[in-house]
Structure 1
Amino acid sequence: TVIIALLALAVPQIPFLTMMGISAALTVFIAILIAVIVTPAVLMLIGKKITPPVDRKKTLAEKVTDRVKFSGKLLQGWAKVLNKIPVLIATLTIAFLAITAIPIFHMELGLPDDSVYEEGTPQRDAYDLLKEGYGEGVHASLVVVAEATEKDGEVLSKLEQLQADILAMDHVDLITNVIPKESGEMAVLTLNPTNGPSDQETIELVHELRNAKFDGVKLNVTGNTAMYIDISERLSDALPVFASIIVVLAFIIFMIAFRSILVPLKAVLGFVLSLGATLGFVTWVVQDGNFYELFGFVTTSPVLSFLPIIATGILFGLAMDYEVFLVSRMREEFAHSGNARKAVMAGVRDSGGVVVAAALIMVAVFGGFMFSSDPMTKIIGLTLTFGVIFDAFVVRMMMVPAVMMLLGKSAWYMPKWLDRILPNVDMEGEEVLKMVEKEKVKKNK
């Protein structure tokens, strides 16, 4: 699932995202090969030497670990709570995630400018000086290339009227430079909007210039501002396709692995809720300006344009890992006992500690990004930190087991015709255990 999510970063067809996804997916693939091939081989070579003597005294580190481990009585107690009030927990968690996700519906994507840096930094001082001297639009400069639409047409004779028509458009401050081509069929105009690069008025102006119709002249708009707007719009359009691809493929993989329809459906729907809550929370803080100073931001800004895509890829991989940790233990217990509630409690008790520990590690890593002085790094850190918190602690440790309790045995339902079609993947190693038992029987004989 992690490799699928990373390779899907190629969907927007933006070079830096594609290379990021391919290189990260390759790294994960190499890590899988090491874990599956190299690690077992090394363990086989070391043999019994890897385990300490049974009769020795425990070290101080082992004693501390025994006291703070995330299993045993603590998670056993939480499993009992889930068993008593699954309806309440499922309702509260779903409602919390849904309400937290509401701000996502007015999320604005863009690339923050230098106004998001702290006062006194070189970036902010330069930004303020230019804004004071030339207006806010100096930071959103647009390059307009006017070219003749006819084969032997020319632009020079129409430049004066063209400039007048452009200045008459809404949200245009001034034209700063005009460079005509000597042959006459093209001219380059540089203009400043009245607003900043991420403002809606500037975005509307870019589209208006591109759609404008002049006699014998076509306008092409470029420059950093136009490029950032194009990237943001392409990423926004690609996000539903990107999310659909990884969700559908993950659903199929989980359906094959867990031999169930409802378990993978619950897994992907839980991720959709946690992702929505994450992006909604980030929008509420960074864009809407609620408690933004508490998280170290100087001012409000649009949400980083490529953040939803990157967050979806990274958080999806982590979320599915947490799901596998929990549900694989539940399935193992259900296969042996046939008791659905007992299976859920066993999953929370035995694998919940792994989820909690893994999530705390990622929270510590991503939380470190929030101490960066760079606003873009800070936004990424905020998103990934709360993404892990929402998914691991709210979805996987609360909503998932509560819903599994309510579903009971129906959670493991798989139509017989579909079970025959799908390949059988032995995730829990049941076939291996059967082979070991057979070998033991043969030896005893």
Structure 2
Amino acid sequence: MVIDSGAALPRRTEGEDRMFLALGRWCAHRPKRVLAAWLLLLLALGGAVLAYGRVTSEAVRIPGSDSQAALDTAARAFPGPASGNQPLVLHTAADGPLLTGETARAAVERSARAVADVPHVVSVVSPYDRPGGPAVAADGHTAYLSVGLDVTGRDVTPDLTDRIVDAAAPARAAGVEVTPGGDLAAAVDRPDTGHSELIGLAAAAVVLLLGFRKAAAAGLPLAIGIAGLAVSLAAVGLAGHLMDMPSSGTTIAAMIGLGVGIDYTLFSLTRFRELRGRGTAAAEAAALATATAGKAAAFAGCAVIAALAGLALGGLPLLQALALAPAVAVLVAVAATLTLLPALLSLLGRFLGSAPPAADPAGSGRPTGGWQRLAERVAARPWRHLLAGLALLLVLAAPAAGLAFGQLDAGDKPAGSASRTAYERLSAAFGPGVNGPLQVTDTLPTAPAGPQDPRITKVSTALAHTPGVASVGPAQISADARTVRWQVTPTTAPGDPDTARLVDTMRARVLPGATADGAGTAHVGGAPAAVADLNDRLADRLPAVIGVVVAVAGLLLLAAFRSPLLALKAAVLNLLSVAAAYGVLTAVFQWGWGARAIGLEGAVPVPGYVPLLMFAVLFGLSMDYEVFLLTAVRERYLETGDGRRAVVLGLASTGGIITSAALIMVSVFLAYLLSDDPVVKMFGTGLAAAVALDVTVVRGLLVPTTMTLLGDRGWWLPRWLDRILPDLDIEGAAHTRPAADAGPAVDAGPAVDAGPAGDAGPKADAGPAAAGERPDTGEADPAVPHPARPALPTP
């Protein structure tokens, strides 16, 4: 065969196509084995969760930071409880007994001894015996016990907290209210988002039932979504034993996993019903749906995971854990779409109904309806709609210019929660800074003479005279007399920006001046310092992470659609939609616009990891709809050669299904606004806003207008790039191309094995090969022009 050197040679990944088809066939013809395997997986993970539990941890580690250096130095020099000291807040009403009274004091002391006997409690410091002075408020109505545990924060369970609180029964009997704080409170305040998942599923059920008009068809995506949700939540919960997994990580995994699981199933089920409408048997239709829509779902899922993997550049364990959780959920959703779904499609085929196949765009049965009318209107006046869409996105994105990373603290928890109650009582009694003290460590080159050593006195004095410092505890000297530690209580709350500025002042001016004469190396640690370092690190790494995620997404789209201009266009439009989502996030949370409507009391700071993680998730999710729409446009272009008509027909044929999928995703995300956790509300609001904008403004206006204006240039591909790019055939169009469109018969080619006997469905790819295709592979032969396929533009 002679190949024209000037013609493009698409590289069809036939092995990959056959792999997805073979997987779909295997699962469709062995549904009971597949169902049994998934059931065993669920039982195994469920048993492991029952045995070991799903654990979370709010610990923050920033390798290489000053706060981490302070923490590590203190851990070596001052070994203590694994979890540090956790407060057990004691409080009496204004007309109640004073904690300094003899009766109340005796009850508190008995409670302290009882708490010390609780398993995992290694130390209890009475408020009357603290080394730095009594931990009793001036009015005598508030105090706290300091409880040391031999387990870290991730292993503090609600049961342990309850046992400690129950042990303080003598104090309660004396009229003292006992409230856990710190990790003890976090254990009992862990959010339960079960109601959010149920509401999201209910909303998805309504959308699916309206779309399919059949209960079985509407229920199948929900079943796949629930199965994937159960597996992914169990896996993420078990991963918490190996790494610090924030509680919001499991919620984000549930949010993303449920949304993409239902969406991927929806796309595959739609293709299955189309194939059934052509008369294809259920098992074969399930296999072909896996080789087409399932393959697209796998590509979209890999895009999400690749975008999340870009967060590894942040070099932060917290960010890696938050990226791992949704990545696991997406991976499980893809696995369920490729294995569990074809098995269920094969078993339930006769109950799922069918749909007429997509109409021939060149014939009289072309798509009609609201989406076609919208597409024709947009394509007829591209500049008007392009500018309108851009203006809307830019207006929504404007507040993002003022987005600043902040710190949430227990004061932002829901009213009535243990964390919030303990926080407010301690703040009112001892000042807001007591909820987030700073730890200053200084490693001396030579052992000090004692607490009155001039080097120690100089640092103590400098810290005490620093504006923003409420008090400085007595200097503690380590057993080896080389390390000194001070506890510094700020005048402001942990989440107050002034506390972060105090940390910067202490590091930049106060400590360098106090230790300039050889007084050692000082570090500032504590929770406020750690969060400040986290936000600084995120701000520094943000450009690199964004660049990598955009580059990865662009390369994936370039490989998928073989068009540099389309890949660049997609990256730019995705950046605009993410910026608009950031603007909504800033206005609602940082400015407080409408905050009460979503269950907040007012404005709250936005943690630095929220925008970064949201960026990766949104860039990955946007690939889903981008792939689905551009695949349809590309297929129409290859069939008609008319760029404008291809855009109209592509948008008309995919508008309905993309809208349904996005509506499900938005419903799932908005359901999480019912969570009490502000971080979960941030993700729910930001992701819902971004998906809604993506499917309306971006896919409905900006994509078709830019593609119409680009015309044939949008499909331009340099010859050198064409030679190295594979033709991924994301939607597997070769498997479902109607025979009527195949052109004159050349050679039937080898029949693909249709699986075990008993399936009456037609054999895929066994029909006549289209003119211009190689008889042995079905690959386009550039030496023979395709009768309905124009040559793509080349330079």
- Aligned 8 A contact 1:104 1:279 in 2: yes
Pairing of 1:61-140 with structure 2 (within 5 A): 72-140=368-436
Pairing of 1:309-388 with structure 2 (within 5 A): 309-388=612-691
* Distance in structure 1 (CA, Å) of the matches to 2:327 and 2:720: 34
Among 523, 531, 551, the residue aligned to 1:220: 523
- Aligned 8 A contact 2:407 2:496 in 1: no
TM-score normalised to structure 2 length: 0.50
Structure 1 residue 217 displacement after superposition: 2.5
Secondary structure of the equivalent of 1:298?
A: coil
Alignment partner of 1:241 is 2:544: yes
Structure 1 residue 136 displacement after superposition: 2.4
Structure 1 residue 297 displacement after superposition: 1.4
* Distance in structure 1 (CA, Å) of the matches to 2:425 and 2:493: 14
Give the corresponding residue for 2:306. Answer: 4
Task: Please say which structure displays the higher CA radius of gyration.
Answer: 2
* Distance in structure 1 (CA, Å) of the matches to 2:476 and 2:458: 15
Tell me how large the CA RMSD over aligned residues is: 2.8
Secondary structure of the equivalent of 2:727?
A: coil
* Distance in structure 2 (CA, Å) of the matches to 1:15 and 1:351: 40
Alignment partner of 1:144 is 2:440: yes
Q: Which runs of 5+ in 1 are unaligned?
A: 55-70
* Distance in structure 1 (CA, Å) of the matches to 2:645 and 2:446: 78
Structure 1 residue 146 displacement after superposition: 1.6
TM-score normalised to structure 1 length: 0.87
Deviations 1:314-350 (A, max 9, x none): 2112111011111110000001111111111111111
Letter in structure 1 aligned against 2:617: I
**Greater helix fraction, Structure 1 or Structure 2:** 1
* Distance in structure 2 (CA, Å) of the matches to 1:140 and 1:103: 30
- Aligned 8 A contact 1:154 1:186 in 2: no
418-427 or 392-401: which moved more? 418-427
Structure 1 residue 10 displacement after superposition: 2.0
Among 586, 591, 604, the residue aligned to 1:288: 591
- Are residues 320 and 177 of structure 1, via their aligned partners in 2, closer, same or farther at CA, if it must alter by over 3 Å? farther
Structure 1 residue 3 displacement after superposition: 1.7
Give the corresponding residue for 2:244. Answer: none
Secondary structure of the equivalent of 1:101?
A: helix
* Distance in structure 2 (CA, Å) of the matches to 1:52 and 1:103: 47
Among 498, 516, 541, the residue aligned to 1:201: 498
Among 166, 178, 196, the residue aligned to 2:463: 166
Structure 1 residue 167 displacement after superposition: 1.9
* Distance in structure 2 (CA, Å) of the matches to 1:242 and 1:191: 35
Secondary structure of the equivalent of 2:471?
A: strand
Question: Relative CO higher for 1 or 2, CA cutoff 8 Å, sep ≥ 6?
Answer: 1
- Are residues 116 and 34 of structure 1, via their aligned partners in 2, closer, same or farther at CA, if it must alter by over 3 Å? closer
Structure 1 residue 72 displacement after superposition: 4.7
- Aligned 8 A contact 1:155 1:185 in 2: no
* Distance in structure 2 (CA, Å) of the matches to 1:391 and 1:102: 17
- Aligned 8 A contact 1:117 1:298 in 2: no
5-14 or 329-338: which moved more? 5-14
- Aligned 8 A contact 2:322 2:613 in 1: no
Secondary structure of the equivalent of 1:188?
A: strand
- Are residues 19 and 125 of structure 1, via their aligned partners in 2, closer, same or farther at CA, if it must alter by over 3 Å? closer
* Distance in structure 1 (CA, Å) of the matches to 2:643 and 2:715: 9
* Distance in structure 2 (CA, Å) of the matches to 1:48 and 1:370: 36
Among 294, 303, 322, the residue aligned to 2:606: 303
Structure 1 residue 38 displacement after superposition: 6.3
Among 676, 690, 700, the residue aligned to 1:397: 700
- Are residues 53 and 12 of structure 1, via their aligned partners in 2, closer, same or farther at CA, if it must alter by over 3 Å? closer
Letter in structure 1 aligned against 2:466: M
Of all paired residues, the percent bearing the same amino acid is: 31
